[in-house]
Amino acid sequence: MKIKGIVKYLLLFWGLMCFCVLPLKAEQKINLSPLFIQLSDAMSAVKENNSTQAKQDLVEIQQQFEAIEQHNSSAGKTVLLSLSEALDDTDIAHLNQLSIALLAFDKEQHPLDIAQQKQRFKKRIVPAFEHWQQVVTENKLSPDIEQLKQQYRLFNGIWTKNERLVRDVDMAYYGKIETALALLRVAIETEPLDYQRIESNTAKIAAQFDDFISGKKAEAVTTNYQLNDGINLLQEGLQAFEQQDNATAQEKLTTFIEIWPSIEGEVSTRNGSLYSKVESQVPVILAKGSEAKYQTELKQIITQLAEINPAAGYSALDAMLILLREGLEALLVVMALVSALRVANRPQGYKWVGGGVIAGLVLSLVAAFALQRLFPSSSLGTNREIIEGAVGIVAVLMILTIGAWLHSKSSLNAWQAYIKKHMNKALTTGSFISLFALSFLSVFREGAETILFYVGILPNISTESFALGVGIAVILLAILAVVILKSSVKLPVPTMFKILTWVLYILGFKILGVSVHALQLTAVLPTTIIDILPNIEWLGFYATLQTIIAQLVYIALILLLQRWLKRQNA
């Protein structure tokens, strides 16, 4: 390959790396999110009468806070005093006081231009809401359910992108607006349509918007809730639905929606996609929870919330499943490439695949570090999802390229011609770079996410359990790799290439679906839900118009490639 071509590939990878791990330049800010997470853990320990663990959490908070350069500011001294009092008398009241002091310190260090925030709010959110109000009025006499659902999703998407404009100024208003929006979604999803409830919640939102803009003081809301409280409400709601006590179930889920703004931070800082799922699906479940499929979905949400519950510990099984879940797809892609090189008798390609794996692992560490240090924890899950989505789409394009090459060698005549042509010549550098690229993207796509998941569970798992879980996962993945290699040797070369081609294509279908879905969860792409279709997560199939279109285009490209390659071989 010419030097010019190599430089082109290097620039491509450098651009991808910058896109994935470097945030837009912004003013460096003090990130207090880890302290709030630690404080949440301390509160959970107090509720479980584990004062030793709570004091240990407080000592760590004190050490982290004193490491902040501005810790001796006016508000910082209040935090230090609250910490001292909490260490002397570790109870919920003193921990709440510490939380208030930390919030005051955060506001002191990051002063908001409230007038500017409200102007942005009026410019970005109010016009979309006024359009929603107009749609509600127009549909009063003859409601168009699909139009209402579509317009609600449009407005809610705009709100989600800009909700920080309210949350950063006044949590009380944010909580009230979030609750009214969720109940508005419930009214839209209720069968038959609850139009009176749609109007009343729209009016509530309008009143909250007006009061927020005018500067009227909102009534204080109780924030002394933990994620465990929310999980308990969902479990009680599920039990009531299963017993066909819909009134009690809806009451429990409504209470969950009301306290959600107080506990959502415990979810968004640990799992951004789950946070989005709870916000979008719980209102629908509240309206349709009498149906079995929505009860199943509620069970899944409860299970996922329990997995990240800071009040719960993690076991070796949790550590093992994280690595198996995240590493399996990457392993299958890499082993497909290694098997192809082995049956093609091209051992010189191993170092390119291996180099891609190592580069993917190294860059995963860099990306995880960059996300942890440079993004606030509240957006950590979101940025992780964006990276996974973008890198996944690039990986799918590489899968199409490698898959086409494998398929072109899957007939006996084509394989014999290939062997004759390359008997004394290695694969071109360009082909090897493609192998490097796909192995790199496959590992990098999953690697950073795996590291961040482990960062999230380390405070709540013993060293022995963590090491045991990771060790078992590595052994299982190694066994699978050996099985794949042994199987590839025993199969005829053309047959093996056919199998590898379709393994890559199926993985590409799943990766594309998961990637588009990740970009939808973070509002990078729009979401048009198709209610009549189910989600099949293990296949990467999500019932949205955008995901289905992307996967149909992917299938069409595969069919076109098959047809073109068939003509070439003929």
Whether residue 127 sits in one domain with residue 102:
no
Residue 388 — very low, low, confident or very high, per pLDDT cuts 50/70/90? low
Sign of CA dihedral 108, 55, 263, 383: positive
Chain position carrying tokens 């180099």: 355
pLDDT value of position 549: 93
* Contact indicator for 304, 381 with CB cutoff of 8 Å: no
In DSSP notation, 238-264 reads HHHHHTT-HHHHHHHHHHHHHHHHHHH
Whether residue 193 sits in one domain with residue 342:
no
In a domain, 11, yes or no: no
The model's pLDDT over 271-292, given as tens digits with 9 standing for 90+, comes to 667 887 888 889 889 888 889 8
Strand, coil or helix: what is 536? strand
pLDDT value of position 245: 92
pLDDT value of position 134: 92
Q: Which of 154, 146, 251 is nearest to 189 (CA)?
A: 146
* Contact indicator for 35, 59 with CB cutoff of 8 Å: no
Whether residue 350 sits in one domain with residue 423:
yes
How far is Cα 414 from Cα 492, in angstroms, rounded to an integer?
Answer: 14
Q: What is the mean predicted confidence (pLDDT) over 191-207?
A: 88
In a domain, 6, yes or no: no
Domain C-terminal end among 464, 496, 528: 496
Q: What is the mean predicted confidence (pLDDT) over 386-413?
A: 60
* Contact indicator for 83, 58 with CB cutoff of 8 Å: yes
Its domain, for residue 101, covers 33-109
How far is Cα 231 from Cα 57, in angstroms, rounded to an integer?
Answer: 23
Q: With 60 as the cut, is the pLDDT of residue 420 above it?
A: no
In a domain, 430, yes or no: yes
How far is Cα 431 from Cα 349, in angstroms, rounded to an integer?
Answer: 9
How far is Cα 470 from Cα 319, in angstroms, rounded to an integer?
Answer: 6
Structure tokens at 132: 């929603």
Residue 69 — very low, low, confident or very high, per pLDDT cuts 50/70/90? confident
How far is Cα 183 from Cα 219, in angstroms, rounded to an integer?
Answer: 19
Chain position carrying tokens 């729209």: 202
In a domain, 507, yes or no: no
Q: With 70 as the cut, is the pLDDT of residue 251 above it?
A: yes
Residue 244 — very low, low, confident or very high, per pLDDT cuts 50/70/90? very high
For the chain, the helix, strand and coil percentages under 3-state DSSP, each to the nearest 5:
80, 0, 20
Q: What is the mean predicted confidence (pLDDT) over 186-211?
A: 88
Q: How far is CA 390 from CA 17, 403, 489, 505, 508, in A?
A: 11, 20, 35, 18, 14
Whether residue 182 sits in one domain with residue 160:
yes
In a domain, 349, yes or no: yes
What's the total number of domains in the chain? 3
The model's pLDDT over 120-146, given as tens digits with 9 standing for 90+, comes to 888 889 999 999 999 999 888 888 888
Whether residue 474 sits in one domain with residue 327:
yes
The model's pLDDT over 27-46, given as tens digits with 9 standing for 90+, comes to 446 777 778 778 877 887 78
Residue 376 — very low, low, confident or very high, per pLDDT cuts 50/70/90? very low
Residues 6+ apart with CB under 8 A from 274: 267, 301, 304, 305, 308
Q: How many CA atoms lie within 13 A of 33 on its CB side?
A: 20
Terminal C-alpha separation, the chain: 28
Q: With 50 as the cut, is the pLDDT of residue 22 above it?
A: no
Residues 6+ apart with CB under 8 A from 163: 174, 178
* Contact indicator for 368, 451 with CB cutoff of 8 Å: yes
* Contact indicator for 318, 307 with CB cutoff of 8 Å: yes
Q: With 90 as the cut, is the pLDDT of residue 551 above it?
A: yes
In DSSP notation, 292-306 reads HHHHHHHHHHHHHHH
Q: Look over the chain and give the mean of its residue pLDDT values, rounded to a whole number.
A: 75
Residues 6+ apart with CB under 8 A from 380: 269, 272, 371, 372, 452
Residue 72 neighbours by CB distance under 10 Å: 10
In a domain, 522, yes or no: no
How far is Cα 208 from Cα 212, in angstroms, rounded to an integer?
Answer: 6
Q: Which range is most confident: 127-131, 216-220, 509-513?
A: 127-131
Q: Rounded to two decimals, what is the model's pTM?
A: 0.43
Whether residue 370 sits in one domain with residue 281:
no
Residue 415 — very low, low, confident or very high, per pLDDT cuts 50/70/90? very low
Structure tokens at 487: 């199987």
> Which of 147-161, 261-275, 480-494 has the lowest average pLDDT?
480-494
- Of 286 and 435, the structure prediction assigns the larger pLDDT to 286
Residues 6+ apart with CB under 8 A from 496: 339, 340, 343, 488
Residue 375 — very low, low, confident or very high, per pLDDT cuts 50/70/90? very low
Domain C-terminal end among 446, 472, 496: 496
Whether residue 321 sits in one domain with residue 294:
no
Q: With 90 as the cut, is the pLDDT of residue 241 above it?
A: yes
Q: What is the mean predicted confidence (pLDDT) over 5-13?
A: 42
Q: What is the mean predicted confidence (pLDDT) over 181-187?
A: 87
CA 483 to chain centre: 32
Whether residue 455 sits in one domain with residue 348:
yes
Peptide bond into 127 cis (omega under 30): no
Q: With 90 as the cut, is the pLDDT of residue 240 above it?
A: yes
Residue 339 — very low, low, confident or very high, per pLDDT cuts 50/70/90? confident
The answer for 49, left when phi > 0, alpha when psi is -120 to 50, beta otherwise, is left
- Of 82 and 437, the structure prediction assigns the larger pLDDT to 82
Whether residue 400 sits in one domain with residue 253:
no
Q: What is the mean predicted confidence (pLDDT) over 322-330?
A: 71
Whether residue 83 sits in one domain with residue 216:
no
Whether residue 145 sits in one domain with residue 234:
yes
Residues in the chain: 570
In a domain, 321, yes or no: yes
In a domain, 275, yes or no: yes
Q: With 50 as the cut, is the pLDDT of residue 423 above it?
A: no
Whether residue 240 sits in one domain with residue 140:
yes
pLDDT value of position 8: 44
The model's pLDDT over 71-121, given as tens digits with 9 standing for 90+, comes to 889 888 999 998 989 898 888 878 878 888 888 888 788 776 778 888 888
pLDDT value of position 403: 60
Domain C-terminal end among 274, 307, 340: 307
Peptide bond into 192 cis (omega under 30): yes
